[in-house]
Chain A
Amino acid sequence: MNLLIALAYLVAAVLFILGLRQLSSPKGARNGNFTAAAGMVIALGATIPLLHFTRAGLVIIGIGVVIGAVVGTFGARMVKMTAIPQMVALFNGVGGGAAALVAVSELLTFGAHPALSQALPSVFSIVIGSISFAGSMIAFAKLQELMTGTPITYPGQQLVNGLIGVAILGFVIAVLAVASVPFSFIALMVLALVLGVAFVLPIGGADMPVVISLLNAFTGLAVAASGFTLNNFALIVAGTLVGASGSLLTKLMSDAMGRSLGNVLFGAFGQVKTGPAAAAGKEGRSVRAGSAEDLATLLAYSRRVIIVPGYGLAVAQAQHAVRELAELLEKRGVEVSYAIHPVAGRMPGHMNVLLAEANVPYEQLKEMDEINDEFKDADVALVVGANDVVNPAARSSPGSPIYGMPILNADQAKNIVFMKRSMRPGFAGIDNDLLYDPKTIMFFGDAKDSLTKLVNAVKAA
C-alpha cells in the first residue's frame, strides 16, 4: 500500500473518531455526521487507486452505487419520523449482508486451504454479518407491524437455537480445518441467517431498539473482520469503532430501561407472568371518562401541567396539536413542561426528535430524573399515548415483566388525564393499574383528534 493511501486512510479514521465525538454532544451532533461522511468520502476515494478494474467490475460498481444511492436517499427522505427506528434497522441489516457477501467472495478466491489469518475473519464476518442481516429484517418487520410485535416463543426454543449454534460451529470448523469449499461456507451463511431470525423472534417489539443497537455493533464487528480478510486498515478501524461504541450504546440503552442486556435478549419479555394479584379484580373495575369540556376546564385552571408524551402521540402525528395546546395553556398562565422518559417512543431520544420537529422549546423538555420530583406539585399529568412508562407495576409488582424499569411519577400528580385510543395495554402488553385510579380521567380517541377537541374547548373555557 503506498504512503499516500495509507495517510488518506489515517485521515478518514481520525474524521470518524471526531465525528463520533461530535455526535455524542447536542451542540455538534449535526456537524459530527458531516465529519464522518467526509471521512467516508476520503476512505472511498483513497481505495480507487488500489484496484484493478475489469470492465464488468466497473459496470456493476456503477450500477450498484446508483441503485444503492437512490434507494438509500429515498428511503431516508421519505420515511415518516415515527418509522425511523425500523429504517435504521434496515440500513444496518444491509450493511451486515454486504459484509457477509464480501467475505463469501473472498473465500471463493482463496481456494480450498486458505491461511488461518484470512479464513478465520472471513467465517466470522459471514456468521456475524448474516445474523445481523436476518435479525435486522425481523426487527424491521416487527416495528413496521408486518408481523406481530409480541414475542414468538415455542417449547424447546432455546434448544433449537442452541442446535443451530452448534451446527454453525461445526461448519466453521469444517471450513477452517477440512476444506474451504462453497458448499460449506454457503451452508454456514444459511444457518447464520436462520439463527438471526430465531434470535430476534422471541424478543418483544418494545425491546427492538436495544436489539437494533446490538445488531449495529455486530455489523461493525463483521466489517472489521472483513478488514482483516482484505488487509484493509480503513475497514478494521471504522468497523471496530462501531463495534465498540455500539456495544456501549447497547448497554446504555438497556440501562435506561432498568434491565440487563441478558434479560432483554433472553427474558422473552412479553410472556406476561400474570401474578395472582394482577389477575384478580381485573374484571369489573371501572374507569372514569371525561368530556373535552371537563378536561379543558381542569387544564385551563391548573397552575402546573406536565405532559407525558408517548408513542401514541407519535403515530397520531399529534406533536403539533400538543404544542398548540401547551401554548394556549401558557397564555393563560399555566406552567407547562414535558416529561420525557428515556425510552419514550420506540427508541431513546425518539420523542425529543419528534417534539423538536414540532418546534417545542428545548427548555420545556425535561428528562425523567429532572422532572420526577415535580409531579407531586403538578395539578395535572396529561398522558398522551403513553402507557408502560407510567405504569406503577414497574415499582410495585415484582412479578411484572417491567418490574424495575424506572418510570415517570405521573401517579403522584393531583389529577391524571390519560389520552388513549382504548383500554388496550401498551406495547409491553401489560395492564396498567393507573388507568383505574380514582384520580384518573380517561379521554378516549385518536391522540390528534382528542388534542384538537381539547384545544377548541380550552379556547372556549
Chain B
Amino acid sequence: MNNELLNEFTFFILAIFVGIEVISKVPTILHTPLMSGTNAIHGIILVGAIWIAAGANSPLTIALGLVAVILATTNVVGGFVVTDRMLEMFKGRQAAKPPTSK
C-alpha cells in the first residue's frame, strides 16, 4: 500500500465518524431537508465528471463525459435549489407577517 492510498484511506475512515457524529442530533422535522442537503453534497461527483470530460478525445469518451457532466450538474444544482426551497418555508413566522387570509 503506497503512501497516498494510506492517506486517502485515513480520510475515508475519519469522514465516516464525522458524518455520523455531525448529524446525530437532527430533529424529525429536518429529516427531509437534511436528506436533500446531503443529496446536493454528493453532487461533488461533478468534480469527477469534469475530470473525465476534460480530456475527452474520442466519440465514446465525449459521449460519456457529456452525459456524466449533465447528470452531475443536475444533481448539484437541483439538490441545492430544492433544499433551499424547502428551508425557505421554515423561516415562516418570525418574519412577523400577520396571518392575513386572502
Contacts and interface: CB of A to CB of B under 8 A. Distances in A.
A244 B22 CA distance: 10
13 contacts: A43-B44, A54-B54, A57-B53, A61-B65, A88-B32, A91-B43, A104-B64, A219-B39, A228-B5, A237-B11, A249-B31, A249-B34, A356-B93
A61 B26 contact: no
B87 A29 contact: yes
A63 B11 CA distance: 33
A234 to B, nearest CB: 6
Given A56-B57, A105-B68, A241-B19, A40 B41 contact: yes
Contact of B41 (A16, A97, A340): A16
Contact of A234 (B28, B44, B73, B80): B44
B41 A241 contact: yes
A196 interface: no
Contacts of B69: 60-61, 63-65, 68, 98
A233 interface: yes
Contacts of A256: 28, 31
A65 B27 CA distance: 35
Contacts of A37: 40, 80
Contact of B72 (A33, A43, A95): A95
Contact of B64 (A19, A105, A249): A105
A60 B62 contact: yes
Given A60-B62, A88-B39, A353-B32, A235 B55 contact: no
Given A76-B81, A98-B68, A69 B73 contact: yes
Contact of A98 (B24, B45, B83): B45
B20 A73 contact: no
A57 B16 CA distance: 34
A56 B28 contact: no
Interface in A21-73: 21, 23-26, 29-30, 32-34, 36-37, 39-40, 43-44, 47-48, 50-54, 56-58, 60-61, 63-65, 67-69, 71-73
Q: Which 6 residue pairs spanning A and B have beta carbons closest together?
A: A68-B73, A244-B19, A64-B69, A72-B78, A72-B77, A240-B15
B47 A234 contact: yes
Interface string A245-267: 11111001100100000000000
Interface of B: 1-2, 4-5, 8, 11-12, 15-20, 22-57, 60-62, 64-93, 97, 99, 101
Given A29-B90, A64-B66, 15 more contacts: A21-B23, A26-B90, A53-B54, A57-B54, A64-B53, A76-B78, A76-B82, A87-B82, A98-B46, A226-B48, A230-B48, A240-B15, A246-B38, A249-B23, A249-B31
Contacts of A76: 77-79, 81-82, 85
A20 B93 contact: no
Contacts of B56: 54, 56-57, 60
Given A17-B22, A235-B47, A237-B15, A65 B73 contact: yes
A237 B30 CA distance: 23
A420 B18 CA distance: 45
A25 B80 CA distance: 17
Contacts, number: 392
Nearest to B47: A47
Interface in A336-366: 340, 342, 347-350, 352-354, 356-357, 359-362, 365
Contacts of A236: 8, 11-12, 15
B65 A57 contact: yes
B15 A324 contact: no
Interface of A: 16-17, 19-21, 23-26, 29-30, 32-34, 36-37, 39-40, 43-44, 47-48, 50-54, 56-58, 60-61, 63-65, 67-69, 71-73, 75-77, 79, 81, 84-85, 87-88, 90-92, 94-95, 97-99, 101-102, 104-106, 108, 117, 209, 212-213, 216, 219-220, 222-224, 226-228, 230-249, 252-253, 256, 320, 323-324, 327, 340, 342, 347-350, 352-354, 356-357, 359-362, 365, 367
Given A95-B43, A241-B15, A248 B64 contact: no
B75 A233 contact: no
Given A19-B41, A84-B32, A237-B15, A101 B73 contact: no
Among B40, B60, B80, chain A packs the most CB atoms within 10 A around the CB of B40
Contacts of B61: 105, 108
Among A77, A87, A105, A353, chain B packs the most CB atoms within 10 A around the CB of A105
A16 B38 CA distance: 9
Contacts of B30: 23-26, 29, 349
B90 A30 contact: yes
A359 B98 CA distance: 9
A242 B31 CA distance: 14
A359 B99 contact: yes
B37 A23 contact: yes
Contacts of B80: 33, 36-37, 40
Contacts of B77: 68-69, 72-73, 76
Contacts of B62: 56, 60
